[in-house]
Amino acid sequence: MLEWIHPSLVLIAGALLLPFLEGRSRQIWQIALPAFVLLILLGLEPGEYGRLSVGALELLPGRVDKLSLVFAYVFGIILVVGNIYALHVDDWIQHVAAMVYAAGALGVVLAGDLVSLYVFWELMVISSVWLIWQRRTEVSYRAGMRYMLVHAFGGMLLLAGLLAHYQATGSIAFNAFDPDGWWFYLILVAFLINAAVPPLHAWLTDAYPEATVTGTIFLSALTTKTAVYTLVRGFPGTELLVWLGVVMALYGVVYAVLANDIRRLLAYHIVSQVGYMVAGVGMGTTLALSGTAAHAFTHILYKALLLMGAGAVLHMTGRSKLTELGGLYRWMPITFLLYMIGGLSISAFPLFSGFVSKTMIVEAAAVDYRGWVWLLLTMASAGTFLHTGLKLPYFTFLGKDSGLRPNEAPRNMLIAMGIAAAFCFLLGVFPGALYALLPHEVDYHAYTAGHLLKEMQLLLFTGLGFFLLLKHVGGDPKISLDTDWFYRRAGPVVAVALRDAVTAADRRVRAGSMMLLGRALAVSRERFGHGGRLAQSWPTGSMAFWTMVVLAVLLVLFALQ
């Protein structure tokens, strides 16, 4: 009897059956498989599993502890919810890609060594890109290619850092890294790319809005959160991460102001919310690290709910721009209500999940005497409510009537949104269940008078400002330039210029070489031709010698061409 069956292998093996199933049988298996994997995850006990030796390497694909379990649990939950949301989609490529993608994410959080982590890390890239390409538009194809190239670069950095780490330490164990080696920064940058830390973030806001309606749910849940997990595991207390996280939190909020596409707006808020987690990792205290894990858990659920609501609007209307939407609450009231639960959760409204997790990180900054960090993260929280909790729902579901008359979203979409909404509410009301899962025991109480007063003041004054400035905060049908401009626009221009310069230089070198060769041949004819000394004494040898020289030069030139 096998001691250990990796949940990722179960998920991959089960996903390979999906292409052979159709109709109701495919739908049943699409729910039964992730539900079974979730049960496996819930039954895992702390310990080390599957240890094996490959040459001189000691691989540990199954390390189970409280940190890995809190991420594995929420990955399993969102896998079930996301597949319910996607039941109406008749596209086995999407479903297989989502399953394999989730298998890669589970493999990362359970990996006890860097080699296993790297294998699952690359599996995530290869599988997730299909959730973008399967939208089957030219824009999604190009966005997917950029997404894949950026993550391939991150994978190269991770591999280089892994090899350098092994050479320096003789170990491939995945634990907190010693910052003394230069490989420390290679691995850190690789993780920061997947965490979407500016200026390395634009792959997210470029690709996620162009993915399929259902694929975006999995994308939002897995890539950045596996990166957060690796940062918690490998880089706790790295001071640089505190300020990178603060920049993320504010950067995402600022660019959400400029976004007109509802899924792009939510994508920027992924950057912002992950910023809280990155800052928590950098602070490195017990409260901050537990707050990071808690916020990753709640964020996956409420962000999925928000994107499911936005996806339902796109699915039913074919539109996703704020300037083209409005008045949909009459026709999609359930979608509107469920979206607002997600909006209140991400805004850290009391009684909803974001309140019991985000305040942990902000409080960690306060008790660690980081006044500026506390203030800037609080400012970012106000911006989150302004745009995700107020701007997006107002101009999508309320506001001016757009003339659209869509039906309510399909039943499976509403069920999936309802499950996510229930988690958002229950975790907000009963945070103890979440706190019990965290990697460190913390004596933290979200519902204190101070926390409630601060949050309610922040939210109410933000709401007042929104309605006072309502005419100035609507969507604007423009494209906002971000750092992806450098590889979307400037990159091709620079590449073409470099190609032309190299081509011109090559032509000049070859022309100059042939001119020098011609001169040398002319001189040789004058000095060693008919009447010359070499010709008179050794004519056959002279001809053979210079023929060999010319052929050798030509071969070199053709090889360089």
Residues 464 and 498 both lie in one domain:
no
320, 209 contact by CB (below 8 A): yes
Give the pLDDT confidence score for residue 336 in this predicted structure: 93
Low-confidence ranges of the chain (pLDDT < 70): 1-3, 474-480, 484-491, 524-549, 554-561
Residues 355 and 393 both lie in one domain:
yes
The set of residues, in sequence order, having a beta carbon less than 8 Å from that of 336 and lying 6+ positions away, is 309, 328, 329, 393, 397
The torsion angle over the Cα atoms of residues 308, 7, 291 and 173, rounded to 10 degrees, is -140
Residues 271 and 353 both lie in one domain:
yes
Domain span including residue 340? 236-478
In a domain, 188, yes or no: no
Which DSSP symbol is given to 272?
A: H
In a domain, 142, yes or no: no
Query: Which run of H or E residues covers position 120?
Result: helix 114-133
Domain count, the chain: 2
Q: What is the pTM of this model?
A: 0.86
- Indicate the burial class of 364 (C-beta count within 10 angstroms; 0-12, 13-18, 19 or more): buried
Spatial distance between the Cα atoms of 37 and 103, rounded to a whole number of angstroms: 10
Give the pLDDT confidence score for residue 534 in this predicted structure: 47
Task: Please state the separation of Cα 360 from the chain's center in Å.
Answer: 24
Residues 317 and 425 both lie in one domain:
yes
Which of 425, 452, 478 corresponds to the end of one domain? 478
Residues 450 and 366 both lie in one domain:
yes
Residues 537 and 457 both lie in one domain:
no
Q: How far from each other are the two terminal CA atoms of the chain, in whole angstroms?
A: 61
What phi and psi values does residue 484 have, to the nearest 5 degrees? -65, -15
Residues 405 and 539 both lie in one domain:
no
Give the pLDDT confidence score for residue 415 in this predicted structure: 96
Structure confidence by residue, pLDDT tens digits, 59-106: 899 999 999 999 999 999 999 999 999 999 989 999 999 999 999 999
Give the pLDDT confidence score for residue 248 in this predicted structure: 93
Query: Which run of H or E residues covers position 227?
Result: helix 215-234
